[in-house]
């Protein structure tokens, strides 16, 4: 599937299309006012001083300074209201419910009806309404995937609902849009819109418990995971690891990035990440737990099996 970069003006679904349309209307209105204003200004500058003030100056002031701005503001108000009404504030059909919790600095994503918990990657089927229930575990964050919907804050102790839909398959990158601390700029979210059948495959895979490690190295790595303290913060379903401070790692290897977009997810960067998380994302809760090179290799081998 070719990744779609997608921005606010390249909408991938109906909600974003409404916002893009409104933006174009406002741009055209603004451009029209600008051109008219420049025309009048240049004309005034070129007029010879000797011509003096014409009799029609009063009328010009009333039309240009009162009537026209009033009409324009009314039009802007009207098209904005129309766009706001067209953007659903609650689901109209049978939506897929996704709970999104903002953390410093990553996204916890769970599908309560599907038994799935993941991080930083929002998988959705195309052509279906998605009801995002947004909340925060710490400070205020803001969910923004420009190609799919507008921004909405994630607040502690409150749930905000954002409805979105993707009509075209592709990867849509989003960002936290509310300053939330040191790593605010490293809080990317990837929305992956897929056709129904590949979404169902993803659901089946993510809903399952972690695969038992088979290779000797991976078996050793699973023990390291439990004994080195990783399990205090991370859950791997199907194992005793049930920490909830950091991302659920049950299917870590299926995700595209580490640290919410900081590194590509591959064995080499995973090794780097675990051996010195603060070097890659200063200020996060994860610390170097001081593994020996051998244990680190085993751990990376194990985490690589968590497809
Ligand atoms: Cu989270 Cu900015």
- Where is 276: in which H helix or E strand? none
Name the region of 178 (left: φ>0; alpha: ψ -120 to 50; beta: rest).
Answer: beta
Ligand 1 centroid–CA 102 distance in Å is 8
Category of 173 on φ-ψ map: left (φ > 0), alpha (ψ -120 to 50) or beta: beta
Looking from the CA of residue 139, the nearest atom of ligand 1 is 1
178 CA: nearest ligand 1 atom: 2
Alpha carbons 248 and 109: distance in angstroms, whole number: 9
Q: Say what the pLDDT of residue 59 is.
A: 87
Asked whether residue 45 carries a pLDDT value surpassing 80, the answer given is yes
Q: What is the pLDDT of residue 136?
A: 97
pLDDT of 4 > 60? The answer is no
Looking at the predicted structure, is the pLDDT value of residue 48 above 80?
A: no
Structure tokens at 257: 């990035």
Ligand 1 centroid, distance to 281 Cα (angstroms): 14
- The residue whose CA has the least distance to atom 1 of ligand 1 is 141
49: pLDDT strictly greater than 80: no
Backbone φ and ψ for 274, nearest 5 degrees, come out as -70, -35
Q: How far is residue 91's CA from residue 128's CA, in Å, rounded to a whole number?
A: 10
Distance from the alpha carbon of residue 180 to the mean position of ligand 1, in angstroms: 4
Band of residue 1 on the pLDDT scale cut at 50, 70, 90: very low
Q: How far apart are CA 163 and CA 148, in angstroms?
A: 9
As a whole number, mean pLDDT of residues 245-273 equals 94
- In tens, the pLDDT along 92-116 reads 888 999 999 999 999 999 999 999 9
Q: Using 50, 70 and 90 to split pLDDT, how confident is the model at 2?
A: very low
Model pTM score: 0.87
Computed on alpha carbons and rounded to an integer, the radius of gyration of the chain in Å comes to: 26
What is the tens place of the pLDDT at every residue in 133-189?
Answer: 999 999 999 999 999 999 999 999 999 999 999 999 999 999 999 999 999 999 999
Average pLDDT over residues 80-101: 91
Place of tokens 């992956």: 192
Task: Write down the H helix ranges in the chain.
Answer: 14-46, 57-62, 68-86, 196-207, 216-227, 267-275, 277-280, 293-304
Name all residues whose Cβ lies below 6 A of ligand 1: 102, 105, 141, 176, 178-180, 184, 187
- Judged against a pLDDT cut of 70, whether residue 51 lies above it is answered with no
* Closest ligand 1 atom to 140 CA: 1
């Amino acid at each position: 599937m070719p990744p779609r970069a997608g921005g606010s003006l390249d909408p991938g679904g109906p909600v974003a299309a409404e916002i893009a349309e409104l933006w174009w209307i406002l741009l055209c209105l603004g451009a029209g006012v600008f051109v008219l204003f420049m025309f009048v200004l240049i004309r005034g500058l070129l007029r010879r001083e000797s011509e003096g003030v014409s009799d029609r100056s009063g009328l010009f002031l009333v039309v240009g300074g009162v009537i026209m701005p009033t009409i324009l503001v009314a039009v802007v108000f009207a098209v904005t209201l129309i766009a706001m009404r067209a953007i659903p504030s609650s689901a109209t059909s049978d939506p897929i419910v996704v709970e999104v919790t903002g953390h410093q600095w990553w996204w916890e994503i769970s599908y309560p009806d599907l038994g799935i918990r993941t991080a930083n990657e929002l998988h959705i089927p195309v052509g279906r309404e998605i009801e995002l229930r947004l909340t925060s575990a710490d400070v205020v964050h803001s969910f923004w995937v420009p190609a799919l919907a507008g921004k909405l804050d994630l607040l502690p102790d409150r749930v905000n609902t954002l409805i979105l839909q993707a009509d075209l398959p592709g990867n849509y990158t989003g960002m936290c849009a509310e300053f939330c601390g040191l790593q605010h700029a490293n809080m990317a979210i990837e929305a992956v819109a897929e056709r129904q059948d590949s979404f169902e495959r993803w659901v089946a895979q993510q809903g399952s418990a972690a695969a038992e490690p088979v290779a000797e190295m991976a078996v050793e790595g699973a023990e390291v995971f439990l004994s080195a303290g990783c399990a205090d913060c991370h859950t791997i379903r199907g194992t005793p690891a049930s920490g909830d401070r950091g991302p659920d790692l049950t299917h870590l290897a299926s995700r595209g990035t580490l640290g919410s977009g900081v590194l590509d997810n591959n064995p080499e960067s995973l090794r780097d990440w675990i051996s010195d998380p603060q070097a890659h994302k200063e200020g996060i809760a994860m610390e170097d737990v001081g593994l020996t090179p051998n244990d680190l290799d085993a751990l990376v081998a194990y985490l690589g099996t968590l497809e």
